[in-house]
Amino acid sequence: MAENIIFYGSSIALAAIGLLIALTRRNLIKIIIGLDLMETGVNMFLISIGYRRGGTAPIFDIPLSKAVDPVPQALVLTAIVIGVAVTALALTFAVRIHEKYGTLDISKLREMKW
């Protein structure tokens, strides 16, 4: 029961913190950090879905019953790589925006107002 709260709770908390940061901060870099935290929370959540008590990595020098679920791990492997690519791209956008407008504060970018 304790693992339940630790793994699910911390991953949900991480995602919520990331979402809060992404929504409330005005600095573009901090927004990107928030998105990254959110992604980490989701990845942790997916990994902990495959949890088994006393289990270990699904590599076969162990008995079958001890292997954790391999599918979420494969999914998260994909998600991490995509996440790195997206973060690098987002940071490049931030660099370009800073070059054009001289600020990273999104409230000062008048074109983004609605």
Partner 1 sequence: MIKKAFLILLVAFTGYVFFVAASARPFGSPRVVVSKRYLEKGLNETGSQNIVTSVVVLYRGFDTLGEVTVLFLAATALAALISGFPFERKERTEPSLVMSTASRYLFPLILLFGAYIFVHGHLTPGGGFPGGVVIASGFLLMFLAFRKYRVSEGGLIVTEGLAGFFYVLIGLIGLYLLGSFLASFLPPGRLHTLLSGGIIPLIYILIGFKVGSEMTGILRSLKGEDENG
70 binds partner 1 (CB under 8 A): yes
For partner 1, the binding residue among 99, 102, 111, 113 (CB under 8 A) is: 99
User: Which three-class secondary structure state does DSSP give residue 101?
Assistant: helix
| Pair 103, 74: CB distance under 8 Å | no
For partner 1, the binding residue among 28, 78, 108, 109 (CB under 8 A) is: 78
Q: Cα 52–58–61 angle (5° rounding)? A: 115
Cβ nearer to partner 1, comparing 82 with 112: 82
For partner 1, the binding residue among 95, 105, 108, 112 (CB under 8 A) is: 95
Residues 67, 100: Cα–Cα separation, whole Å: 52
Closest distance of CB 60 from partner 1, Å: 5
For partner 1, the binding residue among 30, 40, 69, 104 (CB under 8 A) is: 69
Q: What is the DSSP string of 5-53?
A: IIIIIHHHHHHHHHHHHHHH--BHHHHHHHHHHHHHHHHHHHHHHT--T
- The site for partner 1 (CB under 8 A) is made up of 3-4, 7-8, 11-12, 15-16, 19-20, 23-24, 45, 48-53, 57-61, 64, 67, 69-71, 73-74, 77-78, 80-82, 84-86, 88-89, 91-93, 95-96, 99
